[in-house]
């Protein structure tokens, strides 16, 4: 979740790396499950911490068990690494489509450009009115 609410990476970089490491098919399945979990967490925060269905109280443990063979921490991927640079080049060529929810709008927007001057908490403060529930999650 920390990577998803990081405006320089979001879900897109997780997908990018997962495809690169495990292939397209496994990546699609993982991203689908991760997106369900993201939507579930969003729903939980949207309802002031009270899930509206059984899916709102899902366990997220399956995410760590399926990815235990690779370290996805920020220290594993430097901002200036060739893989991250390739990711940003590919992202720069895509368009944003219409979205139906706050999560979808956030995830559809392009990621922030890598910069040593980037301040994550300042970014979320500035965008808190645009993404109020994700702001609370972040």
**Residue 65: its pLDDT value, please?**
39
Give the model's pLDDT for residue 109: 86
- Give domain status of residue 4, yes or no: no
Q: How far apart are the C-alpha atoms of 134 and 124, rounded to whole Å?
A: 9
**33 domain-assigned:** yes
Average per-residue pLDDT for the chain = 76
Q: Is 1 inside a domain boundary?
A: no
* Residue-by-residue DSSP string for 78-130: -TTSHHHHHHHHHHHTPPPPP-SSHHHHHHHSPPPPP-TT--HHHHHHHTTTT
Closest to 46 in 3D by CA, of 119, 123, 132, 118: 132
Where residue 132 falls among pLDDT bands split at 50, 70, 90? very high
Residue 2 lies in a domain: no
Give the domain range for residue 105: 10-137
pLDDT over threshold 70, residue 69: no
Q: Is 3 inside a domain boundary?
A: no
Residue 50, token pair as written in the block: 């009270």
Decide: 103 and 38 in contact? Cβ < 8 Å.
Answer: yes
Task: Say which DSSP state 72 is in.
Answer: -
Residue 99 belongs to some domain of the structure: yes
Q: Residue 111: what are its φ and ψ, rounded to 5°?
A: -75, 160
Is 86 within a domain? yes
Q: Is the residue at 120 inside a domain?
A: yes
Q: Say how many domains are in the chain.
A: 1
Residue 136: pLDDT over 90 = yes
pLDDT tens digit string along 72-126? Answer: 444 445 556 777 777 766 665 444 456 778 898 898 888 898 889 999 999 999 9
């Amino acid at each position: 979740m920390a990577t998803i609410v990081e405006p320089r990476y979001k879900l897109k970089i997780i997908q990018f790396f997962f495809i690169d490491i495990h292939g397209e098919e496994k990546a699609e399945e993982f991203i689908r499950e991760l997106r369900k979990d993201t939507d579930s967490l969003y729903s939980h925060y949207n309802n002031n911490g009270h899930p509206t269905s059984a899916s709102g109280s899902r366990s997220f443990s399956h995410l760590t068990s399926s990815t235990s063979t690779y370290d996805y921490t920020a220290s594993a991927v430097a901002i200036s690494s060739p893989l991250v640079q390739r990711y940003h080049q590919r992202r720069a060529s895509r368009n944003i489509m219409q979205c139906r929810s706050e999560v979808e709008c956030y995830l559809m927007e392009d990621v922030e450009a890598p910069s040593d001057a980037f301040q994550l908490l300042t970014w979320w403060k500035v965008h808190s009115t645009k993404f109020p529930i994700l702001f609370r999650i972040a």
